[in-house]
Chains A and B, each alone.
Chain A
Amino acid sequence: MSTTLRSALPDAELDEPRELSTAPTGSDRVFVIGTRSIAATVLVITGAIGVFLALSAVPTIQHYGLGFFTETQWQPESDTLGIAAVLLGTFTVALVALLFAFPVALLTALYIAEYAPTRLRPTLISLIDLMAAVPSIIYGLWGFVLLQPHASAIALWLHQHLGWIPFFRVDADPDAAVWEQTRYTASAFIAGLAVAMMVMPMACAVMRQVFSQAPPGEREAAFALGATHWGVIKTVVLPFGKGGIIGGTMLGLGRALGETIAVVLIISPAFDLKLKPLEVGTNTISALIAGRFGEATSLQLQALLTAGFVLFVITLGINTLAAMIVTRSRSGAGAEA
């Protein structure tokens, strides 16, 4: 049987690929241009702030020299401005805040991720988020009115019993018959406690999220080997969450450095270069801005902006480092702060 091979039909044309257009349609073009211009606007606004702050540093440094960073006093009357004391105060308040916030945040995050009953967990997470949403002025009020009497009593106790450590020293007689309570109030210690209330939920949220991602296989392997609950936490959860612990703490530190209103409410401003958090009087960069912007001349305003710029650069550096630690570490997957 023979097959007749049919040649192509005489009038058939060659298949040609259809013209594919990758050019966007009209509405798409509008969409791309529209969103790009919005993004450009935001870039200009936010970038302008950074540039503006950086530029404000120029006249300040020209006028006050590098002594601006080492001068402790802020006396516009005698034209001596410097941020050494407020910078130290900023770090003292943040340090006290972290000293309290870090252990509590870590333990609370462990409680929510490991110990709390499963059914209660979403509620507890919401409560921590709520704590982060409470306005800072309310924590300021709380610290100012409710916490101050108790905290100053604790400060006195620390001074009486640990006064030989310079960190706990206060310029007052610890064993006076009637203790000078005013020497122990309005201090960096109490301001730090109020700031700790704001920092704790932020740090706790990051840590909790990272702990909850601890690999279940390793956890259960540890349990299967007979580890206690603490054993599992120590060998699996904490090493896995190390990045989150550091990152969360640093994010909290960034927030603590910039906190204003709670600090302004509690402290009494002082410009001494001292590391005595229990004693009355301290100052922070943000409290300085809040207290001095009103009567500032244009040069002093530039100086305040420079102080703000220094604060911004420090916060930015800490936040960037925190983000890097969280994403680089093993625990980084999906942790959004």
Chain B
Amino acid sequence: MTIELEHAASQTPVGRTATLVRSEPASNDVVDDALRRQLSTTTAEQRFELAGCWIAAAALSWLVCARLMPWDGTVVFVLVTFVVGVTLIAVITSLDAGRPEVSDRLVSTVVHSAALLVGVALASTIIFVLVQGFGGMVHVNTWVDDMSGVGPRDPLDRGGIAHAIVGSLIEIGIAVAVTIPLGIGTAIYMTEIGGRFATIVRTIVEAMTALPSIVAGLFIYTTLIVGLGMPRSGLAAAMALSVMMLPIIARASDVVLRVVPGNLREASLALGASRWRTVWHIVLPTARPGLATAVILGVARGIGETSPVLLTSGTAAFMVTDPTDGVMNSLPLFIFSTVRSGEPLYIDRAYAAAAILLLLVLILFVSARLLARPRKGSR
């Protein structure tokens, strides 16, 4: 606290200009980050204290885990280090500072540790899947062959998961072909036309985003497969995915269309354009990056969803390209059915499929981010 005050005093002119720039910001104004003065400054002493605390914590934790108590394992070591480290920081800080600063340092430590934990969790997930799946992914046949006639003991250079990749792409393709016109059309109706009926539609669509994906699958299973006697097929799976994705895409597009500035619409209408031309030439192009992001994120959600597919598509070990022609496999389903088989080589194939699925999602995600980028400047 004292340090911050001194710091501010020594830089009064800078501080004053910065204050003038930011004078009376409207409550929702976003102040340009470049204009902000960096408020959190640490001295060299504080940094040394911090480093010292963590080194001491690691050493003490090793003593506790390896010499005093019968606790082994990295998780326990990390936990003990964390507890000891936080305690040490509290003690060291309280030597030369008051309570506000001690709690400030403690919270800062905990917050940074939590962020680190999340980073480790995400990295461990991605690295774990990619490393485990690497053995299967290096074989070309994994990408081009199917599993027909391949037994559990056959090595990884026989058979592959092309049928699951193709199945996933076909199913998601049909689902996208169904949901994009319906979802975006509904969103256009809700934002551009409005009225009481639109309110009802919006309420129902928002409610249906709460539908658990397995219930969507069970609905299609009961109506189409049990009720209408349709065979388990890629088409049924695509329908289940559509039912699940439709509210998600409609709602996300609705949110995107609502932020299109109203004066653009009014300008267009004032120039004599019809409502239809306004939507087609003004609203949709303005919202295009946002719509693309909404759709791609919906697709990423759909392609990785196992539960609706589990109930509706059946599993095929061979390549199926006709979605109406009986059972079909897909990547999540292939992973789910092989990973529990207990056969080590099957499990390796499941990891390869998981790695490919993860790569697909990553590609979709990165393209969504790249498409969304131009919006930054215009909004």
Query: CB within 8 Å of B: which residues of A?
Result: 24-25, 27-28, 30-32, 34-36, 38-43, 45-47, 49-50, 52-53, 56, 103-104, 107-108, 110-112, 114-116, 118, 126-131, 133-139, 141-142, 144-146, 150, 153-154, 157, 197, 200, 204, 213, 215-217, 220, 223, 226-231, 233, 254, 257-261, 264-265, 286, 289-290, 293, 298, 301, 304-305, 308-309, 311-312, 315-316, 318-320, 323, 333-334, 336
The minimal Cβ–Cβ distance linking A71 to chain B, given in whole angstroms, is: 20
The minimal Cβ–Cβ distance linking B336 to chain A, given in whole angstroms, is: 6
A258 CA / B201 CA spacing, docked (Å): 23
Q: Tell me whether A308 and B304 are in contact in the complex, defined as CB-CB below 8 angstroms, given that A38-B185, A39-B190, A230-B107 are known contacts.
A: no
Query: Is A286 touching B211 in the complex (CB atoms < 8 A)?
Result: no
Having A50-B207, A204-B118, A319-B209, one finds 4 other A-B pairs with CB under 8 Å, namely: A42-B183, A146-B124, A231-B104, A260-B213
**Is B274 located at the chain interface by the 8 A CB criterion?**
yes
A63 CA / B295 CA spacing, docked (Å): 43
Query: Is B279 touching A134 in the complex (CB atoms < 8 A)?
Result: no
Query: Is A134 touching B304 in the complex (CB atoms < 8 A)?
Result: yes
Residues of B within 8 A of A41 (CB): 182
Query: Is A46 touching B246 in the complex (CB atoms < 8 A)?
Result: yes
A267 CA / B300 CA spacing, docked (Å): 26
Q: Tell me whether A293 and B354 are in contact in the complex, defined as CB-CB below 8 angstroms, given that A35-B185, A43-B201, A136-B306 are known contacts.
A: no
Query: Is A127 touching B339 in the complex (CB atoms < 8 A)?
Result: no
Query: Is B215 touching A333 in the complex (CB atoms < 8 A)?
Result: no
Residue in A35, A45, A52, A309 with the greatest tally of chain B CB atoms within 10 Å: A35
Q: Tell me whether A137 and B335 are in contact in the complex, defined as CB-CB below 8 angstroms, given that A25-B274, A308-B218 are known contacts.
A: yes
**Is B226 located at the chain interface by the 8 A CB criterion?**
yes
| Chain B, Cβ-Cβ closest to A142 | B125
**Is B95 located at the chain interface by the 8 A CB criterion?**
no
Residue in B201, B358, B362 with the greatest tally of chain A CB atoms within 10 Å: B201
Query: Is A265 touching B185 in the complex (CB atoms < 8 A)?
Result: no
Query: Is B25 touching A216 in the complex (CB atoms < 8 A)?
Result: yes
**Is B16 located at the chain interface by the 8 A CB criterion?**
no
A38 CA / B178 CA spacing, docked (Å): 11
| Chain A, Cβ-Cβ closest to B23 | A217
A25 CA / B276 CA spacing, docked (Å): 10
**Is B161 located at the chain interface by the 8 A CB criterion?**
no
| Chain A, Cβ-Cβ closest to B304 | A135
The minimal Cβ–Cβ distance linking B343 to chain A, given in whole angstroms, is: 15
Residue in A103, A135, A142, A220 with the greatest tally of chain B CB atoms within 10 Å: A135
The stretch among B26-34, B81-89, B147-155 that forms the contact with chain A is: B26-34
Residues of B within 8 A of A127 (CB): 119, 122
The stretch among B56-64, B109-117, B260-268 that forms the contact with chain A is: B109-117
Query: Is B276 touching A30 in the complex (CB atoms < 8 A)?
Result: yes
Residues of A within 8 A of B119 (CB): 127
A53 CA / B214 CA spacing, docked (Å): 13
Residues of A within 8 A of B40 (CB): 115, 229
A122 CA / B110 CA spacing, docked (Å): 22
| Chain B interface category by residue count | 35 or more
**Is B275 located at the chain interface by the 8 A CB criterion?**
yes
**Is B320 located at the chain interface by the 8 A CB criterion?**
no
Residues of A within 8 A of B94 (CB): none
**Is B255 located at the chain interface by the 8 A CB criterion?**
yes
Residue in A127, A138, A257, A336 with the greatest tally of chain B CB atoms within 10 Å: A138
Residues of B within 8 A of A56 (CB): 222
The minimal Cβ–Cβ distance linking B14 to chain A, given in whole angstroms, is: 15
Partner of B210, one of A47, A134, A254, A264: A254
Query: Is B276 touching A316 in the complex (CB atoms < 8 A)?
Result: no
**Is B316 located at the chain interface by the 8 A CB criterion?**
no
1/0 contact trace for B359-379 toward A, CB 8 Å? 001101100010000000000
**Is B50 located at the chain interface by the 8 A CB criterion?**
no
The minimal Cβ–Cβ distance linking B267 to chain A, given in whole angstroms, is: 18
Query: Is B212 touching A311 in the complex (CB atoms < 8 A)?
Result: yes
Query: Is B107 touching A233 in the complex (CB atoms < 8 A)?
Result: yes
Residues of B within 8 A of A134 (CB): 125-126, 304, 358, 361
| Chain A, Cβ-Cβ closest to B117 | A104
Query: Is A308 touching B25 in the complex (CB atoms < 8 A)?
Result: no
A45 CA / B185 CA spacing, docked (Å): 14
| Chain B, Cβ-Cβ closest to A302 | B222
1/0 contact trace for B186-224 toward A, CB 8 Å? 101110110001101100111111111111101101110
Query: Is A217 touching B304 in the complex (CB atoms < 8 A)?
Result: no
Query: Is A39 touching B186 in the complex (CB atoms < 8 A)?
Result: yes
Query: Is B354 touching A141 in the complex (CB atoms < 8 A)?
Result: yes
Would you give 11 A-B contacts (Cβ < 8 Å), ordered by A? A25-B274, A35-B192, A47-B204, A107-B115, A115-B108, A137-B336, A141-B335, A228-B100, A301-B226, A311-B215, A315-B211
Partner of B361, one of A52, A114, A133, A336: A133
A139 CA / B213 CA spacing, docked (Å): 16
The minimal Cβ–Cβ distance linking B248 to chain A, given in whole angstroms, is: 11
Query: Is B210 touching A137 in the complex (CB atoms < 8 A)?
Result: no
**Is B328 located at the chain interface by the 8 A CB criterion?**
no
The minimal Cβ–Cβ distance linking A329 to chain B, given in whole angstroms, is: 15
Residues of B within 8 A of A34 (CB): 185
Query: Is A133 touching B365 in the complex (CB atoms < 8 A)?
Result: yes
A22 CA / B321 CA spacing, docked (Å): 52
Q: Tell me whether A229 and B306 are in contact in the complex, defined as CB-CB below 8 angstroms, given that A107-B114, A111-B114, A305-B218 are known contacts.
A: no
| Chain A, Cβ-Cβ closest to B79 | A154
Partner of A31, one of B209, B223, B279, B364: B279
Residues of A within 8 A of B201 (CB): 39-40, 42-43
The minimal Cβ–Cβ distance linking B56 to chain A, given in whole angstroms, is: 23
Query: Is B101 touching A228 in the complex (CB atoms < 8 A)?
Result: yes
The minimal Cβ–Cβ distance linking B274 to chain A, given in whole angstroms, is: 5
Residues of B within 8 A of A116 (CB): 115
Query: Is A312 touching B212 in the complex (CB atoms < 8 A)?
Result: yes
Query: Is B185 touching A153 in the complex (CB atoms < 8 A)?
Result: no
A28 CA / B222 CA spacing, docked (Å): 40
Partner of A265, one of B132, B339, B362: B339
A227 CA / B124 CA spacing, docked (Å): 37
